[in-house]
Chains A and B, each alone.
Chain A
């Protein structure tokens, strides 16, 4: 098994080649429609992925905002590279003990899926040959690149793809390890280690999707597979294990197909056969095309990965044209009867088949893709880019791109990195994660498990909260992790919760409710506490006592108004001393007085 890791992380600076902000925005105000063309290069062959994209002949609609500038609409040459982004990259290179280039040369890397308005991504190598130490041995970091993030795909409509340009040009750090990761667990450790180093720069964007991991996995006799966009570190070992299993099973299928002398037959139009079918999908379809397969029985339904069968791989390939397929190993099902299945088998004089329904043209194209995939199964495993699924399995997204065409970005002059710059950055280097972890353990008396969690989450934020509020590290973790489980990471919102907890304004049991409401967009914590009754009992009791005292002193209050607080405070404290904090008593008292 060979595994390499590629990590992309967004930097929290201005855009790489202009001065625009990199915040994501809603409500674009301008639409700009463009077409991209592939220029056939003399030097290199059009790479497979690029060619497949160009075949689609799509129009791209770029959604811009009132303050979008011309650079990232490809209407103006790039400005000078963002200094902060370059210096942050240099920090990372130094932390990884890598070799720094003396002069930065930006390149144009052709990307024609539309995600870059210009049709290329600007990218450069800042450092090479870094190294990280793991318990399973050293792993080499081959390259550390600084590049532009792509536009966000918004939606697709017929022949048009809509992209938001707010993210385009956000500086991205890309680190690629050598394919020397030997175990699934090591994969996770490497990702964790690199993630911590990146975070230590404090220049990383926060939030979901700001760090993306790609896994490159291959096994002996198998193929190189890239799993793109893994976000959950804990899932890395699972994806690796599942992919190894998938490849092993596909190799088994290859052997079985050859042994059985399996065969791909012709395509039949069996629309009439399904005239009276109960299957809703077939009923709606214009055409029912069936691909005859010989000696595939049991193979189509063979599980190759968690909840994925060989048939699922075929369905992935057909997806460009149809939403799904039926194969004989899963029938009868979906309203297709035993009788219908048998009639098809009889008609084909075979043991297996694949059904595709749609218009004639789409169904035919889908079957062509399926045939292409089955033909590969006789040879082995196709090189692919795959999409991670939640359960640890993956689905096909496109052929593995060949080496992208790359050439110098002549609009950006080479950028010299002087010895002075490096000396200056060396002085600003943050504490290395390993050192930091040891210090946190000691300083806050933490166990190994919790320290690791804090390191993954955000050690700087942790220290900031510990300094400001009187709460336990375990509570810090509980709040942060709960909010993350709702898909949120807003630190200001978290801080409100820490504040309330530390001042005894919210019971620990209420953490989850408050955060759930936050995640739904209800951000008024007082209202939430009121609604769900999440106050500590002591506070509730205090409220009753204060209400009583206020009622008894209506006359004083009517005379003095707010100033009655000082008059009544003494009486309240006498009743509540030792039970509730004076500040809270003061607040409640004022509130109750104002009600009168």
Chain B
């Protein structure tokens, strides 16, 4: 909402600099986005002049050389190109030195050999109109003919004003109006408030208009519909004071009638619509729902297809307006219009909101209606419009006002308890002060035993209904500067701390950070193309995705079913910029449509991708280790270890589970036997799809929620020191196809710990055989084992290894 200060001053004039006023409004609930200057930059050098002589320029057909009395000293010679200039006229003059609205400084200049000492102004040159063809002739203005040449032009014309760009919150449609903001300014600053512009309604009384019929068929969607009619209407350009205000407020002047409807809307907050009464078929308007598929062409020349939720104003030939949103061309006022019907109605806010959203049509009117206007505003607007129709169009009002629906329900009375106010805010406000504030805001107040009985004015009917709403009104005007800063006691019975699961999630993330990985935060959104790039075949479980109905782009149309995609995106971003050695991880949600209830399922994933060197090259060592399956697995081991969850890694049960992984280097990650993710190398075709070159990219992804759920909250003590373990290294030779985990399982059944530290294949072992070197620890809870004890255990191990074709190497 652009608030024109020159206009505001008709109703309230606080003794504050514009910036101070803006600050005061901001601190009482009306945000000011910007302060702008409209019109000329400075008033000096803009004066009233009187044309003494006007003669043809000797060397230019279209120019006039004028002698203009501009007050002091000798008259000025001004060259003017307007065809309507003539001797005797009172005109607006910019003298050399004047700063024009676009910021340029006017200089005396020679025009075709004659020095012009200034400029006779057209309305667009001082931003109070859009016409450029002729100069402004001021004789017709009140006082225009008598004013002395040299007087400041600003005495006659509003050639400069400040404009505040207000951000009005959606609960305050009353502040989408100059008078509404004037009321706020009054309450916020204490400056006196003038009477409302609708105080005197000049329209002749009556509850009908001869020859005009209105039928409202949908009273629930149109709580009030008022109409007034005028004849002998002369349509022409509006006066400068009005055009100047419209322009400063951001509206383009059209003609008197249209300008009046816009002006009244900006002043009162109530939109109006003007019909050419002679083009209203049957002089009969019906307010009804549109038929399904009914068509109409709106003022913007677009044919709209409507449905039953849309409310129309129709005449005997069909629709003329989409109610509250936009008029139609057929009954629009035009230059030859002489009879005008002005409609001011109240529409159902949600309905207007739906209609304007569905049709993609937003207007100044719909923006106000959808917030819910008070029915009382309709007649307030009619009163102002009647006065202006008479004054500016010479119109004769036809007696009577058609009023379907009438005023709104009686205002609510809300009890404001002193104690409640103090209890909610944490500090009291004196009852007299509350009453003063509420009165200034237009509320009625009456004393009650424990506070005030507050009557809500119609224009705040939907916004203020409860005590808390009234408390807000008082508090926001009083301000919060004096409010103490206290901190409540925590009476929940629980300390403020992270849950065990939240602490463990941080622990898992910190483990990866400690190992040199960088966390990324990727997009939850992905494009359908992600599924193809991951080589997911039709019917793959990850192809079932959550879809956004109204995505910003195709690339953001689904929610990621795996976190791998966004990690590869981040890897590709960096690799493309020359940062190819990558160790990235992400911790975030992934989504799939199969939730338990009405919502999709989300789980918190922890995943990483590795590419290239895992460490910077070092002068002290050979080439650094490279990303690969075992690098990813080692990180999984680190995470599990930190969370104290036993880890199992096994070849995938379903070879098609992860089509985006290298089939020979992919494994399921199991916690307590439950599969919770994968570790592997990314399939070379997937690596290529992300333009990550031909080096291996390793990755893992875990359901962190399920991992954390298996982590013990408390570690229990085990006595590992009273009876020290016996350490022995074993070399086990097995056939190639026996997985290391099987050997570890067999040995581990007899040892307190087993760790594979070397793997060897060679001719001396024989074809198809592998040697695994194991660090083993043997211990008992109740005694220190002897060499004999361990020898017996080794015998058992040897016997069991034989079962898988294995043996101990000497």
Say whether A and B bind each other: no
Chain B residues in contact with chain A, CB under 8 A? none
Chain A residues in contact with chain B, CB under 8 A? none
